[in-house]
Structure 1
Amino acid sequence: MASRIPPSPISLDNKITIRLTGDNYLYWRTQVDPILRSNLLFSFVDGSLPCPAAEIANPMEAEAAATPTIANPQFAAWHQQDQAILSAIVSSLTEGVLGMVMLVPSSQQAWETLEASFASQSTARVMAIRTELSKIKKHDFPNATAYFNKIKSLTDILSSIGQPLRPDEINTFLVAGLDSDYDALADRIGARPVHDPLPIRDVYAQLLNTEQRVEARRADVTLENHHANYSARPGGSRPPGHQQ
């Protein structure tokens, strides 16, 4: 255990740049987790490195003047590091959140208090994003790029808060929002096995290609209708510039 406690406290000052508010816990946690882990300090907050005993047996106890126990140097080292972590966590909280952890004695208690307080909110946030994904329709966007970027931005949020979607799940959401003009593309994507989905970059490329064909076909139909309507006028004249 002694080797897991830093010989001198590791400062985390200014490393946590996101301030925790009432509604961004997942974002905050996404930054703090790797900071603690990269500095080998996560064991302080998850409880896997408990506080050492305040005293240990005196190795010199056999001597007549020796006391049976002495102060454990690891106890002081642990407390210094723990308080450095607690200080960093507290410093990253906004006033509206600070009250949740006021007077807690250790970084583990602060961590667990915040986790318990925001657990239901985090779950609700993930569910809300997935629900929003299920309701997105391409016809609500000006083009395929805007539609794709909206879905991609939401899936990126899920990834950033530790709830990433599998590639096949992302493809499912993309396909679900397409109209019947994209049925052929939907069939190609759906035909791929779950363990080998079409890469997202390929889905985007095929989405753009399909959109171009759909728009070209619609343009042809519009032009044909225009010519038909023009020819139906009295005299049956063709629109200017029309080639026989």
Structure 2
Amino acid sequence: MSWIYSSLTGSVMVRIVGLTTAFEVWTTLGRNFVSANNNGLLDLEQSLQDVSKDGLSVQEYVIKGKDLTDSLAAIGEPVPENKQVRFFFRGLGLEYNVFVTSIAYRPDQPSLEDV
């Protein structure tokens, strides 16, 4: 229990005052943070759907999308690679339509890294 107490901030510590077992502490913390993760999940998913190149370089755009998919994976909601490719294509803009069409309709779908 002392390890748990020493690793928590004061704002989290108040949520477990009076609990006496590690099981109670972990259960309480889990309940408290699941709703926070669900809100974060919705925000991250929406951001990924809305991400667009919009004046960014291609490298900046890829990094922005990768940061979002990495954040989703970090909270236990990994985005499959085929969906990552679709999100990437969706946000590129009209000037990339020829490129997107040439890749999207290939029988062997390339990885995100290959794209």
TM-score, normalization by structure 2: 0.89
**Does 1:145 pair with 2:59?**
yes
Name the amino acid aligned to 2:32: S
Equivalent-residue separation in structure 1 for 2:18 and 2:101 (angstroms): 59
Equivalence for 2:78: 164
Equivalent-residue separation in structure 2 for 1:188 and 1:157 (angstroms): 30
**Does 1:201 pair with 2:113?**
yes
SS of the residue aligned with 2:113? helix
Equivalent-residue separation in structure 2 for 1:124 and 1:95 (angstroms): 22
- 1:192 to partner: Cα distance: 5.2
Equivalence for 2:11: 96
Q: Which has the higher helix share?
A: 2
Equivalence for 1:177: 91
Contact 1:167 1:197 in 2 (8 A): no
Kindly name which structure, 1 or 2, has the bigger radius of gyration based on alpha carbons. 1
Equivalence for 2:50: 135
Equivalent-residue separation in structure 2 for 1:125 and 1:176 (angstroms): 22
Residue correspondence of structure 1 range 109-128 to structure 2 within 5 A: 109-128=24-43
Evaluate the alpha carbon distance shift between residue 138 and residue 88 of structure 1 in structure 2; reply closer, same or farther with a 3 A threshold: same
Deviation digits for residues 105-144 of structure 1 (CA, Å, limit 9, x no counterpart): 1111111101111111101101101111111211231x10
TM-score, normalization by structure 1: 0.44
Percent identity reads 30
Equivalence for 1:28: none
Which of 20, 23, 45 is the equivalent residue of 1:108?
Answer: 23
Q: What's the C-alpha RMSD, in Å, of the aligned pairs?
A: 1.7
Higher relative contact order (CA closer than 8 Å, sequence separation 6+): 2
